[in-house]
Amino acid sequence: MFEFWTGGETLPIYGFFIRGVIVYLYIFLLVKVLGQRSMSSIDPLDFIFGVVIGDILGAPLTDGELPLKGPMTAAAVIAFIHFSLSLIALKTPKFRRVIEDEPIIIIRHGVILNEQLKKTRLTLEQLMMDLRLKNASNLAEVDYAVLEMNGQISVIKKDKYNPITLNDKNKSPKSSGYSTILIQDGELIEKNVNKVGGINKVRKLIQKKGYANVRDIFVMSMNEKGDVYISPKQKKK
């Protein structure tokens, strides 16, 4: 009666059907427990989790002799490890930067960085395709193109090619350029801070904006015009 769970040499068709339903619902439950994640935001941890879970739970769907207990237990352990690592990455920016790829600038000030293309194994044809998809088929319009962590390319157009607003009518076009993250989750990103003038400059900017401590800031960025954006940490209720 419970061959679908324990396995057997001659597992009947209905046993495979029941296994399929159980495994599907089990994976659905694991995904719900781990939390919603955009498919475009899959990182290496998510990819490894998906491959391993698929392999573990896929085997008993085709081999009737395998019991379900072992694969489902192993899947639960993998899910727990994945959840733990994701939580550590969320709480620890340094660990997060180890497992996540950094954005890579492919076009800077309208110049295609061919060495970066080689580094990302991206062909010129693929780059042009992505630019067309972003409504930037004319390279002369592109100020920056960045390969993001999710594998997509984001485009920053030169200001003179952006739609004009009422506030822009009396201003001469000047690109704001690429924004650099200086503080993330209350921690200074040293290599980026050094690019914009060092820690002392950043601290003065923070104080000018009314913040006393780096730890009070969730994210701080600066573009090439020197415009600073700061979002404070939300206080726990």
**Which residues lie across from 155 on neighbouring strands?**
145
According to CATH, the topology of domain 102-176 is CRO Repressor (3.30.240)
Evaluate if residue 237 carries a pLDDT over 60: no
pLDDT at 79: 84
Q: Tens digits of per-residue pLDDT, 95-113?
A: 777 767 778 998 888 888 8
Give the range with max mean pLDDT: 5-9, 136-140, 141-145.
141-145
207 and 230 in contact (C-beta within 8 Å)?
no
Q: Tens digits of per-residue pLDDT, 149-201?
A: 777 899 998 877 776 654 555 665 566 677 788 988 888 999 899 988 999 99
Q: Tens digits of per-residue pLDDT, 196-212?
A: 899 999 999 999 989 98
Evaluate if residue 2 carries a pLDDT over 70: no
pLDDT at 168: 57
Evaluate if residue 38 carries a pLDDT over 50: no
CA distances, 66 to each of 20, 56, 63, 82, 199 (Å): 14, 11, 6, 25, 59
Distance between start and end Cα atoms, the chain: 52
Residue 196 corresponds to which tokens in the numbers above? Answer: 């914009």
pLDDT band at 22 (very low <50, low <70, confident <90, very high): confident
The CA distance from 38 to 151, in Å, is 13
Q: What are the residue ranges of CATH 3.30.240.20 in the chain?
A: 102-176, 179-237
The CA distance from 184 to 202, in Å, is 13
Buried b (16+ CB within 10 A) or exposed e, 33-63: eeeeeeeeeebebeeebeebbeebbeebbee
State whether CATH 3.40.50.620 applies to domain 179-237. Answer: no
